Amino acid sequence: MTSESNIAVGIDLGTTYTAVAYIDDTGRPVTLVNAEGDLVTPSVVLFEGQHAVVGKEALKALSTEADHVAQCAKRELGERVFHKVLEGRQFPPEALEAFVLNKVRQDASRHIGDFRQVVITVPAYFDEVRRKATQDAGYMAGFDVLDIINEPTAAAIAHGFIKGYLNRDGASNELRRLLVYDLGGGTFDVTVMEINAHDFVALATDGDVQLGGQDWDMRLVDYVAEEFKKTYDLDPREEPNTAGRLWRECEDAKRTLSARGKVSISCDYKSQAMRVEITREKFEELTHDLLDRTKFTTKQTLQAAGLTWKDVDYVLLVGGSTRMPMVSRMLRELTGKDPDASVSVDEAVAHGAALHASIILARLRGESPVINVRNVNSHSLGVVASDPRTMRRRNAILIPRNTTLPVTAKRVFRTQKENQKSILVQIVEGESASPEDCSQIGKCVVRNLPAQLPAQTPIDVRFAYQDNGRLTVHVSVAGTSRELKHEIARDNSISQEQLDAWRLFITGHQLADAQLQADDDDTATIDEL
């Protein structure tokens, strides 16, 4: 789908909050407020029959109608269905994300008119499956997704803009290196980037898709619930609305603890009530292992980039959770530098995405790019092959992690047996030699091989990995005309018809039922050279 609109819009689709920015007439990124007048929209969906309410009201409903509310769907992208049944129905996580995107699209249209083309951000650590799911969410919400860009890269672009790297006339040739520490509501990402004039190059990236502010909240929830249990022998977590209310209290208390030394959290359940006081020191003690996990990953990423702290010019803070004083303190101790928060931690990613959108639109108009962005892949990509000596299946890596993109790679394998009829190429993502420990991200099958093809016939497998993290696989079989070019489709993927049905459903044109189905293919293993 294409649009006549030339407005550059970027969306930071966060686990807990979503922000939208566009580039105004003067070329500056501006965050768009939603219909409630806020800069960010909670990524939460409340279902009322066929009607979906997104944002602040849905968040509030966690205390009263928790069974009808979906939150943190981003954490489940890549799964077939969201863990919770809503209105008797199982939603794919990307459809829940699409409800959020649809709401911010409608709200943004009130300010900038109708638009379709957007750049959406994802954590750098997102694998192919989750990237594709994000792209699908954009489609279901009625968008034409220009690109999916990594959140730290977007933050670095926004930083470059503020610091003047994007100034056409004044771009400095001095090389700068940034470490982007991004701790949001549900995910943690760390990326080392090099900025040289107009080139933005990611050197290494790592992270954890299951670590974010939400985990800090849950430590407070558990602490208060245990105190309540000690006093009344009742667990407030066992009833969903009470648990939802307690979580909201704790999330609020966590924010207070970023500004004050202590806070008191109230909890009531089954006609019993109590207030639990907690100091910042206690909160830091309860969560130090979570912070240590981010510290460990930060150190590892610097090492993977082949740098030491003295090579790093800026330590950039991104994501709402970096407001916790423990984060800056840890980074100051670790790096010997004052973390840089010159770009708003809530808006940096959306601003960078909007700037990236404007660059793409300029390119589409035939103008030269103002900046060049180069990413690395966050996970190794390979295919499942049998080791000829042991006959054990293993992950044969074609593109190791932290390789600069775009990249093409080739490896030669062989057919396993004589007269093999088809070849199944299973693509996996992960570092382990064992395919079972990697994520299965897709497969393609070369069928109808010529009769009497000898065993050990060479098979060329080529991967073309683009800088937006999308992968195309080429397979060719020596001495035959059999060849296959395949943009990888994830297993259990949603078909185009289903995507269209969701798009109609979510954007409200027509009620339709989108069913999920799995596909099944023949299998035949390829043998490694």
Please give the Cα distance from 28 to 38 (Å, whole number).
19
Binding to ligand AMP in span 191-220, by CB under 6 A: 213-214
3-state DSSP call for residue 279?
Answer: strand
Name which position in 42, 138, 320, 435 contacts ligand AMP (CB under 6 A).
320
Report CA-CA distances (Å) from 252 to 18, 63, 246, 288, 343: 18, 14, 10, 19, 23
* Paired strand residues for 317: 181
Q: Does 15 bind ligand AMP (CB under 6 A)?
A: yes
Active site residue 12: yes
Region binding ligand AMP by CB under 6 A among candidate stretches 100-108, 141-149, 252-260, 506-514: 252-260
Among 255, 282, 288, 299, binds ligand AMP (CB under 6 A): 255
Active site residue 151: yes
Find residue 414's DSSP bridge partners. 458, 527
CA dihedral 510, 512, 516, 517 (to 10 degrees): -110
Peptide bond before residue 406 is cis, with ω within 30 degrees of 0? yes
DSSP 410: E
The helix-helix angle for 213-232 and 240-259 (nearest 10°) equals 120
In this chain, which of 130, 254, 295, 356 binds ligand AMP, going by CB under 6 A? 254
Q: Among 14, 138, 152, 339, which residue interacts with ligand AMP (rule: CB under 6 A)? A: 14
The minimum distance between CB 16 and ligand AMP, in angstroms, equals: 4
Contact 97, 70 (CB under 8 A): no
Q: Is 31 among the residues that bind ligand AMP (CB under 6 A)? A: no
Q: If binding is defined by CB under 6 A, does position 346 make contact with ligand AMP?
A: yes
Query: Contacts with ligand AMP: how many residues (CB under 6 A)?
Result: 18
By CB under 6 A, tell whether 425 contacts ligand AMP: no
Under 8 Å between Cβ of 208 and 184: no
State the nearest-atom distance from the C-beta of 211 to ligand AMP, in Å: 11
Catalytic: which of 76, 107, 151, 347? 151
Taking the complex as a whole, the smallest distance from the CB of residue 19 to ligand AMP amounts, in Å, to 7
Among the residue ranges 14-22, 55-63, 75-83, 440-448, the one whose residues contact ligand AMP (CB under 6 A): 14-22
Residue span binding ligand AMP (CB under 6 A) among the ranges 132-140, 253-261, 413-421, 506-514: 253-261
Considering only residues 173 to 192 of the shown chain, the ones binding ligand AMP according to CB under 6 A are 184-185
Nearest alpha carbon to residue 110 among 32, 54, 41: 32
SS3 sequence of 345-409: CCCHHHHHHHHHHHHHHHHHCCCCCCCEEECECCCCEEEEEECCCCCCEEEEEEECCCCECCEEE
Q: Among residues 214 and 416, whose Cβ is nearest to ligand AMP?
A: 214
Determine which one of 128, 182, 206, 217 is catalytic: 182
Q: Which is nearer to ligand AMP, 348 or 381 (CB)?
A: 348
Tell me the closest approach of the beta carbon of residue 25 to ligand AMP, in angstroms: 27
Please give the order of strands across the beta sheet that includes 199-208: 314-318, 175-183, 188-196, 199-208, 372-374
Q: Any catalytic annotation for residue 254?
A: no
Cα-Cα end-to-end distance for the chain: 43
Q: What phi-psi label fits residue 37: left (phi over 0), alpha (psi between -120 and 50 degrees) or beta?
A: left
Instruction: Determine whether 182 is an active site residue.
Output: yes
Residue 152 or 213: the one with the smaller Cβ distance to ligand AMP is 213
131 sits near ligand AMP (criterion: CB under 6 A): no
From residue 302, give the alpha-carbon distance in Å to each of 277, 305, 345: 39, 5, 21
Q: Which is nearer to ligand AMP, 138 or 320 (CB)?
A: 320
* Using rule CB under 6 A, residue 42 touches ligand AMP: no
Shortest CB 185 distance to ligand AMP, Å = 4
Which residues are catalytic, by number?
Answer: 12, 74, 151, 182
- Contacts with ligand AMP by CB under 6 A lie at 14-17, 184-185, 213-214, 251, 254-255, 258, 319-321, 323-324, 346
